Amino acid sequence: MTSLADYAVFLAILDERSLTSAATRLGRSLQSVSRSLARLEDDLGVELVSRTTRRLHPTQAGLEFADRIRLALTTIDAAREDLLASNRRLAGTIRVGTSSLFGPEYVTPVLSQFLTRNPEIDLELVLSDERVDLVAEKLDFAVRIGNLPDSNLRIRRLGGLSWAVFAAPAYLAAHGRPEHPEELSRHECVLRAGDDDRWVFNGDRQRIEVHGRFRSESAAARNAAVASGFGIGIAPLWQVRRLIDQGIVEQILVGQEPPPIPLQIVWPKRGAGAMPRRVRATIEFVVARLSAQRI
């Protein structure tokens, strides 16, 4: 009965045009290679190789048969190598970039889980709110928030981050609860320094001019000002979810918020198969865990 090894022997014979050379290439005896060829021809009932005193020549049937089985054997070999690789431990160093607020809150716990499962991986987390050059900073990949300009980066979309419009219960009790975005123009709003003082609502279809005396580039400072009862704020929901869950602030204008903020993983473009297995495995782990979270 023929085996996959017999098919591999046949292809080696065709490539080498010699039983002796095929045996050398495969690390087998001449008799073993000859038996494999004879067994395959007997099983198929077709002469695959024409023998002469000096060389071997494939028959037309042998050439056609070789074309059909070569890709199949290559696919089997690749599958075997992938399976063996999956059973080997991941090892090496990975550098990951993310933002200074979102990273510690959401990315760090996921990466910690990955390290626990892969004890031979070392990881460095680089926190920055700037769009740093991944290649220059030697980052294997980054988790980024917001729309990305055209670049030479590969992108894997994780989903969208929801917005929240919120205020402290004391502020709402004293100044009223807005039911429509246009009412915000009559309220004290906490603003980001440098913004154009227009907030977007209803899927980017409505822009409302807002006013406020408290401004800061710091999201933590703005959210704290709202929590203290100074005014109404707007922020990604993940930033203020704990404040909402604890009753320190309340969401308003629910269902009328701006469109979600894109969340994605990016990494430098590489040649085919150039991404190390440890990096690919880390990306897949982060994608699975972050995509499943309520962010």
Topology of the domain comprising 4-86? Arc Repressor Mutant, subunit A (1.10.10)
Strand segments (E) across the chain: 49-51, 56-58, 92-98, 121-127, 141-145, 153-161, 163-167, 188-192, 198-201, 206-209, 211-216, 233-236, 250-252, 261-268
Model pLDDT, residue 272: 44
Model pLDDT, residue 81: 64
Is residue 189 within 8 Å of residue 233, measured between CB atoms?
Answer: yes
Model pLDDT, residue 275: 80
Q: What percent of the chain has pLDDT over 90?
A: 43
Q: Transcribe 123-175 into DSSP letters.
A: EEEEE-SS---TTTTT-SEEEEESPPPS-SEEEEEEEEEPEEEEE-HHHHHHH
Is residue 143 within 8 Å of residue 111, measured between CB atoms?
Answer: no
Residue 215 to residue 193: CA distance in whole angstroms: 5
Model pLDDT, residue 53: 63
Phi-psi region of 277 (alpha: psi -120 to 50; beta: other; left: phi over 0): alpha
Sequence spans of domains, the chain: 4-86, 92-160+261-291, 163-252
pLDDT tens per residue across span 193-216: 887 788 988 776 789 999 999 999
Topology of the domain comprising 163-252? D-Maltodextrin-Binding Protein; domain 2 (3.40.190)
273 pLDDT higher than 60: no
Confirm whether 92-160+261-291 and 163-252 share one CATH topology.
Answer: yes
Is residue 131 within 8 Å of residue 167, measured between CB atoms?
Answer: no
Residue 213 to residue 4: CA distance in whole angstroms: 78
Model pLDDT, residue 270: 67
Residue 272 to residue 287: CA distance in whole angstroms: 21
Is residue 118 within 8 Å of residue 285, measured between CB atoms?
Answer: no
Residue 139 to residue 123: CA distance in whole angstroms: 11
**Segment 262-275 mean pLDDT:** 77
**Segment 213-222 mean pLDDT:** 94
Q: Could you name the CATH architecture of 92-160+261-291? A: 3-Layer(aba) Sandwich (3.40)
pLDDT bracket for residue 6 (50, 70, 90) = confident
156 pLDDT higher than 60: yes
225 pLDDT higher than 70: yes
Least confident of 35-44, 163-172, 178-187: 35-44
Count Cα neighbours of 201 within 13 Å in the Cβ-side half-sphere.
21
